[in-house]
């Protein structure tokens, strides 16, 4: 069984640029959630995708957008990068996104915005 | 909005001793699940233990157990026989809403296990 994978591991961008982060869900999982974890803080929920549709969204501006593909992998896109977007971005997958479903996390992508 | 509070930013424990990490949360839901995750320096969040709010019995996973007090909205994690590999950040999490399993996390407790 393959776990959750994310790419790239690290990324450096400049303010105003756009970035795309990728996530492959665990085998058999069709729900993917994205979280932003600033240094020294707990993760904050960005949004969740279930069967290619956005299923819920946290308090993040529209420049944070996402996609889920038919194989349930997912992308997180951030436009017009700001310095405060520097963080660890975590992807988590679960079976169907129900309240009893545990989320399994990937290793994260560290984004640095200069 | 749900909130999760971890009041101990840092804790330390001697190897083989027992330590308890505190967590309180706020939710208006009746049935929900609570989670403790561990994040070692490698960054990957690993599930430690989970508790269903409807169950009276506290969850246990090997050396890890919880003390769940539903009325007080308290969900503490007890680590027995602490090992050096337990050194990590520990996060408590509760559901963001009743529509799914999106999580609200606490600010974390940094645990150092000393030899």
Note the pLDDT tens digit of each residue in A55-96: 899 999 999 999 999 999 999 999 999 999 999 999 999 988
Report the share of chain A in percent with pLDDT over 90.
86
The SS3 of residue B85 is helix
Which one, of A19, A103, A23, lies nearest residue A71 by Cα?
Answer: A23
Question: Is B45–A92 a contact, with Cβ atoms under 8 angstroms apart?
Answer: yes
Question: Is B100–A97 a contact, with Cβ atoms under 8 angstroms apart?
Answer: yes
Taking only the tens place, the pLDDT of each residue in B25-77 is 998 777 889 999 999 988 889 999 999 988 889 999 999 999 999 999 999 99
Are residues B47 and B101 in contact, defined by beta-carbon separation less than 8 angstroms?
no
What's the pLDDT band for A100 if we cut at 50, 70, 90?
confident
> B49-77 burial by CB neighbour count: b if 16+ within 10 A, else e?
bbbebeeeeebeeeebbbebeeeebebbb
Question: Is A43–B105 a contact, with Cβ atoms under 8 angstroms apart?
Answer: yes
Burial class (CB in 10 A: 0-12, 13-18, 19+), A71: exposed
Which residue in B52, B98, B102 is closest to A48 by CB distance? B102
Q: Looking at residue B56, what is its pLDDT?
A: 82
pLDDT at A42 > cutoff 60: yes
Question: Is A48–B100 a contact, with Cβ atoms under 8 angstroms apart?
Answer: yes
What's the pLDDT band for A99 if we cut at 50, 70, 90?
confident
Find the chain A residues whose C-beta atoms sit closer than 8 A to any C-beta of B. 31, 33, 35, 41-45, 48, 50, 55-56, 58, 88, 90, 92, 94, 97-108, 110
Taking only the tens place, the pLDDT of each residue in B80-109 is 999 999 999 999 999 887 667 889 999 999
Average pLDDT over residues A39-66: 94
Residues of A with Cβ-Cβ distance to B91 under 8 angstroms:
42-43
């Amino acid at each position: 069984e393959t776990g959750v994978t994310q790419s790239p591991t690290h990324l450096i961008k400049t303010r105003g640029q756009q970035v795309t982060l990728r996530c492959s869900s665990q085998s058999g999982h069709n729900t993917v959630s994205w979280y932003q974890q600033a240094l020294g803080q707990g993760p904050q929920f960005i949004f969740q995708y279930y069967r290619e549709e956005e299923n819920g969204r946290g308090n993040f501006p529209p420049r944070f957008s996402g996609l889920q593909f038919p194989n349930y992998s997912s992308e997180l896109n951030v436009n017009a990068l700001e310095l405060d977007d520097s963080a660890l971005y975590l992807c988590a997958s679960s079976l169907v996104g129900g309240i009893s479903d545990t989320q399994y996390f990937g290793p994260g992508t560290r984004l640095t915005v200069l | 909005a749900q909130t999760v509070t971890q009041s101990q930013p840092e804790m330390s424990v001697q190897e083989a001793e027992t330590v308890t990490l505190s967590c309180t949360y706020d939710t208006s839901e009746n049935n929900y699940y609570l989670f403790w995750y561990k994040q070692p320096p490698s960054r990957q969040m690993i599930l430690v233990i989970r508790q269903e709010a409807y169950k009276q019995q506290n969850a246990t996973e090997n050396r890890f157990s919880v003390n769940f007090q539903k009325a007080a909205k308290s969900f503490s994690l007890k680590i027995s026989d602490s090992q050096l590999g337990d050194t990590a950040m520990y996060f408590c999490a509760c559901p963001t809403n009743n529509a799914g399993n999106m999580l609200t996390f606490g600010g974390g407790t940094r645990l150092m296990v000393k030899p």
